[in-house]
Amino acid sequence: MDLRVGDILEMKKAHPCGGKEFDVLRVGMDIKIKCRKCGHEIMTARWKVEKNIKKIIREHEN
């Protein structure tokens, strides 16, 4: 899956704060994402993030 720093991910499940959108901060074997609602940062395995993605939003694309 093509994930880039700066992408916005809409997840299938919501964060405990109720937010479903996350900013991608770091990409590699692990992915670091930040909740857009509460600002909590999470670093987890790439496969866990990829299986829970509903939609990728790229605001920086032309």
Collapsed DSSP state (helix, strand, coil) of residue 50: helix
- Please count the other Cβ atoms lying within 10 Å of the Cβ belonging to residue 62: 3
Q: According to the model, what pLDDT value does residue 33 have?
A: 96
pLDDT band at 60 (very low <50, low <70, confident <90, very high): low
Report pLDDT digits (tens) over 7-55. 999 999 999 999 999 999 999 999 999 999 999 999 999 999 999 999 9
- The domain segmentation of the chain, as residue ranges, is 1-35
Q: According to the model, what pLDDT value does residue 1 have?
A: 83
Residue 60's contacts (CB-CB under 8 Å, 6 or more residues apart) are 6
pLDDT band at 61 (very low <50, low <70, confident <90, very high): low
Is pLDDT larger for residue 59 or for residue 51? Answer: 51
